[in-house]
Amino acid sequence: MHRLPFWFLLPALVTGRPAEPPPLVSILEARRAAAMLGPNLWQRVVVIRNTGRTNVYPTTFAAVVFEMGGILWFYCPVDGTQSLSLRRGHAVADERNLGPLLREIDPGFTRWDFAPADDRPLPSGPVPPNACFLECLALLRGRLVAGVPTERPRLLSYYIAVPGGVSGHTVLYFQAREGPIVIDPHFPKGRLRIGAARPDDARSVADYLRRDIVGARWVPVDPLGLAGGARPSLQASLP
């Protein structure tokens, strides 16, 4: 069974093992990332011990595992968000057995634990690195909770070639009264109307945004689960 493809990768090329963040700083960064998802999606902060020889990930770091659209996703500051589940519709079972899925991301992820629950208010701080996927979900959730018309919302992940690899970015796409709209989380107060693009063609929309696209794909979202009314989660039963 092949892994679901990466929806977002940034940076595309990492040279040398990242500097080791103090564990408490890493957990705080992951908690900030998890908070962007809101209270309705199942989510857990995990602390991973990386025993691999690759230099992509630190030896100890915190990440976020969350459920959306029937699959689990994995966010870490090093390379953003990617799919964790191998199959759609198996999120509940995957939540109970994360180990094999984490090792699919990197064989060095041989040890991991859930971070202790922490209900203390988060101190202010910057947006976590490489979090555009999460920022898009936060933007969408804010619109839905506020009752702002947002029809057929999806995420659009697009990729550009850079020296040594491919770099990616994710934006929010939806239908409005005036037509298809894109909001870039790096410019959340702006709205770009997609006029000439074919609205159901991810590559066409991405090409409208910039000229150096090498690939693009839609990421479906679950508006009901994001804004409220998500399925009963295992949050209370997991340690």
Does residue 164 or residue 138 have the better pLDDT?
138
Q: What's this model's pTM, rounded to 2 decimal places?
A: 0.84
Q: How confident is the model at residue 52 (pLDDT cuts 50, 70, 90)?
A: confident
Q: Are 118 and 31 in contact (CB under 8 A)?
A: yes
Of residues 120 and 231, more confidently modeled? 120
**pLDDT value of residue 156:** 95
Contact of 5 with 83, CB cutoff 8 Å: yes
More confident residue, 21 or 78: 78
| Residue recorded with tokens 């198996």 | 90
- Every domain of the chain and the residues it spans: 23-126, 133-226
The residues, any chain, with a CB within 8 Å of residue 31's CB and separated by 6 or more, are 45, 115, 118, 122
What CA–CA distances, in Å, run from 44 to 64, 113, 115, 197? Answer: 6, 10, 8, 38
Residues 6 or more apart from 78 whose CB is under 8 A from it?
A: 14, 18, 56, 57, 58, 61, 129, 130
Q: What is the CA radius of gyration of the chain?
A: 18
Share of the chain above pLDDT 90, in %: 54
pLDDT of residue 74: 97
Mean pLDDT confidence for 167-196: 89
pLDDT of residue 17: 57
- pLDDT band of 60, cuts 50, 70, 90: very high
Q: Which residue is associated with the tokens 């070639």?
A: 161
Rounded to 5 degrees, φ, ψ at 158 are: -130, 160
